[in-house]
Amino acid sequence: MPVFLTRQIAFNLARRLHNPALSDEENRRIYGDANNPHGFGHNLILEVTVGGEIDSGDGMVMNLVDLERILRAEIHDPLDHRNVNYEVEPFDRIPPTAENLIAWMWERIAKALPARARLAHLRLEVTSDFRVDLGNPQIAGTF
């Protein structure tokens, strides 16, 4: 039976919702104030849930120290206090919407996890009244 562990990290970033493939007028129509040429900032919280079987040797699904190291290396350090449109690929080419950000995070975290743990759920809190989820620990399937 899989067990799920959840860890949170916080970081800050700046972004502009802008699709370079569209005209400035179309970007303003789609993204409104979020298309401000100077960007805008967010204090984000990412909640990460990993699941797996309890290892009979160490009694863990995965070591939380290792999970913290992965989250720092794959998410915090590349994003914290960065303007993602200029400093983080692929957001120089695609709009850094919450949906695109969380998909990018999923890919990076999933690749970095040890074989015995699998990514089950991400929740990115963008503001106090807006968050986006990817995956779900209740329907993640069997590991």
Within a domain: residue 141? no
* Environment class of 31 (CB within 10 Å of its CB; exposed 0-12, middle 13-18, buried 19+): middle
CA distance 5 to 116: 13
Lowest mean pLDDT: which of 49-53, 74-78, 86-90, 133-137? 133-137
Within a domain: residue 68? yes
* pLDDT (0 to 100) of residue 19: 95
Within a domain: residue 142? no
Within a domain: residue 143? no
Q: How do residues 108-117 score in pLDDT, each as one tens digit?
A: 999 999 999 9
Within a domain: residue 140? no
Within a domain: residue 20? yes
Q: Is the pLDDT of residue 141 over 60?
A: no
Confidence of residue 24 (pLDDT cuts 50, 70, 90): very high
Q: How do residues 56-73 score in pLDDT, each as one tens digit?
A: 999 999 999 999 999 999
Please give the tally of structural domains in the chain.
Answer: 1
Q: What is the pTM of this model?
A: 0.92
* pLDDT (0 to 100) of residue 1: 84
CATH number of the domain where residue 26 is located: 3.30.479.10
Single out the residue of 48, 21, 42 nearest to residue 106, CA to CA. Answer: 48
- Name the residue range of residue 25's domain: 3-135
3-state secondary structure of 107: helix
Within a domain: residue 24? yes
Within a domain: residue 57? yes
Q: Is the pLDDT of residue 137 over 80?
A: no
* pLDDT (0 to 100) of residue 117: 95
